[in-house]
Amino acid sequence: MNILGYDWPRLHAALNDLPAALLFVTVLFDTGAWINKRESLRSAALWTLWAGVIGGWAAVVAGLQAEDAIDHGDAIHDLMEPHETWAIVTMSVFTVVLLYKLFRRGSLSRTEELLSRGLSLAGLVTLFYTARLGGKMFFEHAAGVPTAALAPEIQNRSLSHHHHEGEAADSAGTTHDHDEHEH
């Protein structure tokens, strides 16, 4: 499968961040609307919830397809299964919140608003946990990096890498050659 130059793993990676950010912002907007009694924040919360749910389900579908497309062993697989489960749980929670708000046409009683807000907060917790599992797969186990690409990178990293005078390190520890020296 190739969509605009993306295979399933790359599409999953491309689709992950925006829906997660939108769902996070949904909870912030909803909380702000509750505290400040501002209709504009309540409206923003609903629109970001819409976009987050649609994008989140697209990321889930791409992730489910990516599972069979990436090289992986037991360590990645052991993280992948709960990552998938929690992604589906997270999206189901936010989908229920969205559908209920649409069903009620935004006219929720105080109790319904509190329950909706509580459910959204629970969804946010599961969102963070899902992201933690996905990050662990990628950053600690190189999920999505083909074995053929990983082997030469490991060899390259094992070579001694020295920086020349005049190279500065940024806050991430990455160095930049300001004097344009060759490594």
Say which residue, 48 or 175, is predicted with more confidence.
Answer: 48
Please count the other Cβ atoms lying within 10 Å of the Cβ belonging to residue 130.
Answer: 26
Q: What is the DSSP secondary structure assignment for residue 140, as one 8-state letter?
A: I
pLDDT at 50: 96
Q: Is the residue at 118 inside a domain? A: yes
Q: Is the residue at 182 inside a domain? A: no
Q: Is the pLDDT of residue 133 over 80?
A: yes
pLDDT at 183: 45
Instruction: Give the domain extent around 22.
Output: 8-153
The alpha carbon torsion through 139, 141, 142, 147 (nearest 10 deg) reads 170
pLDDT at 180: 47
d(CA 66, CA 72): 11
Q: Is the pLDDT of residue 1 over 80?
A: no
Q: Is the pLDDT of residue 173 over 70?
A: no
Structure token digits, residue 173? 């520890």
Q: Is the residue at 180 inside a domain? A: no
Q: Is the residue at 71 inside a domain? A: yes
Q: Is the residue at 131 inside a domain? A: yes
Q: What is the DSSP secondary structure assignment for residue 143, as one 8-state letter?
A: T
Q: Is the residue at 162 inside a domain? A: no
Average pLDDT, the chain: 84
pLDDT at 94: 97
pLDDT at 160: 67
Give the pLDDT confidence of 43-75 residue by residue, as tens digits.
Answer: 999 999 999 999 999 999 988 988 877 777 778
Q: Which of 76, 87, 77, 30 is nearest to 53 (CA)?
A: 87
With tokens 């344009």, the residue in question is 180
Pairing relationship of beta strands 175-177 and 167-169 according to DSSP bridges:
antiparallel
Q: Is the residue at 81 inside a domain? A: yes
Q: Is the residue at 149 inside a domain? A: yes
Work out the percent of the chain whose per-residue pLDDT is above 90: 42
What pTM was estimated for this model as a whole? 0.79
Mean pLDDT in residue range 110-139? 91
**Residue 129 to residues 85, 92, 124: CA-CA distances in angstroms?**
11, 15, 9
d(CA 58, CA 141): 24
Say which residue, 10 or 50, is predicted with more confidence.
Answer: 50
Say which residue, 157 or 92, is predicted with more confidence.
Answer: 92
Number of domains in the chain: 1
Is 167 in a helix, a strand, or coil? Answer: strand
